Amino acid sequence: MYYEPGKTPHGLPHDPFKSCVIPRPIGWISTVDTQGQDNLAPYSQFQNVTFDPPIVMFSANQTTQGERKDSVRNAEQTGQFVWNMATYALRDAVNISAEELPHGIDEFERAGLEKLPSRLVKPKRVKGSPIQFECEYLNTLRFPGTPPMGTVDVVFGRVVAIHIDDEVINDQGLVDVLKIQPLARMGYYDYTYVDNQFRMVIPGNSKALLAGLEGSPDKAAQATPER
Ligand SMILES: Cc1cc2nc3c(=O)[nH]c(=O)nc-3n(C[C@H](O)[C@H](O)[C@H](O)COP(=O)(O)O)c2cc1C
C-alpha cells in the first residue's frame, strides 16, 4: 500500500502511522507546578537524544481541548522534570496516569503510587520504578499541526542525576533489562515489554566508535587522540 498522510486516504480501518515506529520507550514524566502540585503522565514519543551530556526529550501533542499539556507547562515554568522507567509490573499505573484530568489533580495519588523525593530537582520520583533521571529543562520545539491535538511541544532536558535500583544491576555491573521488563508502546492500544535480548558489536576496531555505541564518555575520551 501507499498513501500520503493528510493528502490521500490510507484506506485501512485504523491509521497505521503509530504502528510503524515501534516499540517506543515510555517517558513517564513527573513534574510539579509553581504551586507545588505534583503531576505524572506517560509519553511514548520519548527518547534519549545524546549521551555526553545526557539529554532526553518527550513530545506532547495538545490536549483534546487544544491546550498545552500540564507536563509541558510545568517543565517550562519550573525548569525541571523527572523521567521514570515504566515497567510491565507498573503498566496499570502508567495507564491510569494518562487520564485527561483537570489541572491540579495528582496522578500519583490517582494511580495509587508512592512518591520518592529527588535530590537535585523538585518533581518527585515514582517509587517502584527501577530507574529515574532527574532533568533540567533545556528548551521546547513547537511544531504547528492540525487542531485540536496536532500541534506538538517537543521538550528537551539535560539529565543531571540518575537513580538505578541496585536490585536491577547484575553481577557484571550491567543494567538487568530482563529483570526490569521495560514497557513499550506499539500502535493502536497495544503494548509490549522487553523479554529477550541479543548482542551485536560494530565490526572493525574503532574503540571510539564502540565507546559511542556503549554511550561511555570516559572510554570515548581515552580512545580519541588529542588534537
Ligand atoms: C502509554 C502512553 C503513552 C502516551 N504517549 C503520549 C505522547 O507521546 N504524547 C502525548 O501527547 N500524549 C501521550 N499520551 C497521553 C498523555 O499521557 C495524556 O494526554 C495525559 O493526560 C497528559 O497529562 P499531562 O497534561 O498531565 O501532561 C500517552 C498515553 C499513554 C497511556
User: pLDDT: is 102 or 95 the higher one?
Assistant: 95
- Residue 109 has a pLDDT of 97
**In the predicted structure, residue 102 carries a pLDDT above the cut 90:** no
Whether ligand 1 lies within 6 angstroms of the CB of 59 is answered as yes
Q: Residue 82: enclosing H or E segment and its boundaries?
A: strand 80-85
Alpha-carbon gap, residue 168 to 68, rounded angstroms: 35
Confidence tier at 104 by pLDDT (50, 70, 90): confident
Per-residue pLDDT tens for 121-162? 999 999 999 999 999 999 999 999 999 999 999 999 999 999
For residue 224, what pLDDT is reported? 76
Cα-based angle 51, 197, 169 (whole degrees, multiple of 5): 60
207 and 136, same structural domain? no
Are the CB atoms for 27 and 40 separated by under 8 Å?
Answer: no
Buried b / exposed e along 50-74 (16+ C-beta atoms within 10 A): eeeebbbbbbbbbeeeeebbbbbbb
Q: Is the CB of 70 under 6 A from ligand 1?
A: yes
**212-223: per-residue pLDDT in tens?**
998 998 998 898
Per-residue pLDDT tens digits for 156-187: 999 999 999 999 999 999 999 999 999 999 99
Residue 227: per-residue pLDDT: 64
- The cell numbers describing 94, all together, are 502508567
Residue 12 C-alpha to ligand 1 middle, in angstroms?
24
In a shared domain, residues 92 and 152? yes
CATH of the domain at 83: 2.30.110.10
Same domain membership, residue 208 and residue 189: no
pLDDT recorded at residue 127? 98
| 63 CA closest ligand 1 atom index | 19
In a domain? residue 5: no
Residue 58: per-residue pLDDT: 98
> In the 8-state DSSP scheme, what is residue 88?
G
Angle at 91 between CA 124 and CA 151, to 5 degrees: 70
Instruction: Say whether both 208 and 149 belong to one domain.
Output: no
Is the shortest distance between the CB of 69 and ligand 1 below 6 Å? yes
Q: 9 lies in a domain?
A: no
Query: What is the best residue among 17, 29, 31, 43 to mutate for testing ligand 1's pocket, by most ligand atoms within 8 Å of CB?
Result: 43
R_g of the chain computed on alpha carbons? 19
Q: What is the tens place of the pLDDT at every residue in 27-86?
A: 999 999 999 999 999 999 999 999 999 999 999 999 999 999 999 999 999 999 999 999
Q: What range defines the domain where residue 137 resides?
A: 17-196
State whether the beta carbon of 151 lies less than 6 angstroms from ligand 1: no
Is any ligand 1 atom within 6 A of the Cβ of residue 86? no
Average pLDDT in the chain: 96
Residue 159, ligand 1, Cβ within 6 A:
no
The total domain count for the chain is: 2
| Position in ligand 1 atom list of the atom nearest CA 43 | 5
Residues 119 and 223 in one domain: no
Mean pLDDT calculated for residue range 196-223: 91
Q: What is the pTM of this model?
A: 0.96
